[in-house]
Amino acid sequence: MTIHKKYGLAEIFQSGMLFQRKKEIKIWGNAEPDTIVTISFFRENQPEDALPSICGECRADSDGHFLVTLPPQNAGEYYSLCVTFSPACVEPVRLKHIGFGDIWLAGGQSNMEIFLKYDRDWENTKKLPRNPDIRMYNVPQRAFEGHTTHNSSGYGYWFDDSDPGLAYFSAPAYSFARDIQTATGIPVGIIGCNWGGSTASAWVPEEVLCAPPLDCYMKEYREAVSGISPEKLTADSLSAWAFEDSAQHVADFEPLLYGCDRGWQLEYMKSHAEDPVIPIGPYHTNRPCGLFRTMLSEVIPFSLKGVLWYQGESDAGDHAHMYDKLLTGLIESWRKLWNDDLPFLIVQLAPFGVWLDCDNQGYAVVRDKQNFVADNVAGVYMASIMDLGSYYDIHPKEKMEVGRRLALLARGHIYDEKELLCDAPRAVRAVLTDDRHIAVTFLHADGLNTGDKESDWNIRIGETDIKPSEVTAEESRLILTLPEPVSTDHPAVCVSLGFQDYAEIHIRNRAGLSASPFQIKITQGELP
């Protein structure tokens, strides 16, 4: 909890903010032990001597912390807020234009963090009518205790989309908020809590990483810092962070975020080969539980509607096989910390080949684990973006579309638009109807079509891999025509779509949602 005064509110509580409607209002901060803290909400434009509409108090504990819990409120009215401290002789804290709506936390790594100004549609987004019922807050990016905010623009204050900070806000999260607010008429707040390159292990409490196989993150960290003096780690880390946070480094790196060809990337790596690197240790963003302590804890237990999660790139590679356990641990621990069965809307990893020195090893496995979590953990819903990737860019630039797909999931599953087609097509059955045709049946298949580009199919018959010679849509099925007759009399007979580290899927339903990768055993027989 970052509070810079002896008496004061936590950093997230500021004028222009939104609280979650229809859930308890939780407000916390610091005061001298035994101080009585009173929090009062007044309807805007009331006389100064009016009685508060909402009021509560508590006594600061022996550590000087307080938490006031107030009853749930509906959206619609705006308030001012007053915090008084007794018997302390300090000025009350006053906040203005406080509202209620639906608050979503946007978590993950750079594909969630990526700013609107880097989105392909930014010029058009700037021309949209402004919407004062969308409020945004970026949790200051602090890698370690005492770290000056990594990003200064658009961080650490609440703003609407008329503020210059909009250019520095999450593109998918803003798109999501705009669609939800338009569809529901309810004010929407987004709390951005994300950091590029972060593994999910940095965003969880220690209890998640205590037992095998996830304890490997702790073991690897201890091995990495073993034998290195704390003084050297501190000196090397602070020196590297000074470079990392410098205006010159940011300016040099920024073209990569707008998107550039492989040749430029190679030149960048060559010219920056001697740049200082932050060593693994107590100052690194990816130390286990690090960002949980320095960022996520700053907003617990602020009441939320749900969580948007776009991450997994940094957990591919050697740890891809356990991503389902890591993501499940994150979801369960966050729900416990908030004491709320928060829905999670997750984004499946997009196709990607190589960017700088990053490759796509393990991406297919992570996508499969994301599918597993969405299928097996209650209240988790997944958006497929297998049609939006780029081989030489780890940051697909159509982030407004990502937000649209997340908003469809929320509208269908959270806001109960029962008739809305909000899920990506999911394959559930593959039948060899004769020796030349395989029929693949999908759920969420209204308007199923093969798309405008070829998708990456693979059919395994025994030890042989073949591609269909033709794919046609037939209601909720796709009919795969094979180049030659086959049978299912083999030890391995299956069909897969997009089941490689780099693969594109352009099969979509009527809502424009691309199918998720799958691998299904082929059976033989007649279609129902």
Q: What's the CATH number where 487 sits?
A: 2.60.40.1220
**Which of helix, strand or coil describes residue 181?**
helix
Tokens of 330: 């994150």
Give the pLDDT score at 5.
Answer: 66
Percent of the chain exceeding pLDDT 70 equals 98
pLDDT in tens, 164-201: 999 999 999 999 999 999 999 999 999 999 999 999 99
Q: In 3D, which of 418, 412, 476 has the Cα closest to residue 447?
A: 476
Residue 52, preceding peptide bond in cis (omega within 30° of 0): no
**Which of helix, strand or coil describes residue 444?**
coil
Whether residue 240 is contained in a domain is answered as no
Dihedral (CA of 192, 21, 159, 406) sign:
positive
Residue 154 burial (CB count, 10 A): 21
Give the pLDDT score at 4.
Answer: 44
Give the pLDDT score at 288.
Answer: 98
Whether residue 185 is contained in a domain is answered as no
Q: Give the lowest-confidence range in 252-256, 433-437, 514-518.
A: 433-437
Torsion, Cα 252 257 259 261, to 10 degrees, reads 50
Torsion, Cα 290 156 340 214, to 10 degrees, reads -20
Amino acid at 41: F
Range of the domain at 481: 426-524
Average pLDDT over residues 59-81: 95
- State the total domains in the chain: 1
Tokens 């990506």 found at: 424
Whether residue 455 is contained in a domain is answered as yes
**Which of helix, strand or coil describes residue 92?**
coil
> Over 90: is that where the pLDDT of 527 sits?
no
Whether residue 131 is contained in a domain is answered as no
Whether residue 431 is contained in a domain is answered as yes
- Mean pLDDT, rounded, of the chain: 95
Confidence of residue 528 (pLDDT cuts 50, 70, 90): low
Give the pLDDT score at 500.
Answer: 95
Distance CA(177)–CA(191), nearest Å, equals 11
Helices (H), 185-261: 216-225, 230-244, 247-258
Average pLDDT over residues 9-31: 97
Whether residue 513 is contained in a domain is answered as yes
Distance CA(238)–CA(465), nearest Å, equals 52
Whether residue 447 is contained in a domain is answered as yes
Distance CA(466)–CA(468), nearest Å, equals 7
Tokens of 339: 């004491």
Q: Are strands 426-434 and 518-524 parallel, antiparallel or unpaired?
A: parallel
Give the pLDDT score at 150.
Answer: 84
The helix (H) or strand (E) run that includes residue 522 is strand 518-524
Residue 129, preceding peptide bond in cis (omega within 30° of 0): no
Tokens of 158: 């609440």
Confidence of residue 489 (pLDDT cuts 50, 70, 90): confident
pTM listed for this prediction: 0.96
Give the pLDDT score at 491.
Answer: 73
Distance CA(426)–CA(261), nearest Å, equals 34
Tokens 């050297």 found at: 232
The packing angle between helices 247-258 and 262-271, to 10°, is 160
Whether residue 517 is contained in a domain is answered as yes
The packing angle between helices 323-338 and 363-376, to 10°, is 40
Percent of the chain exceeding pLDDT 90 equals 90
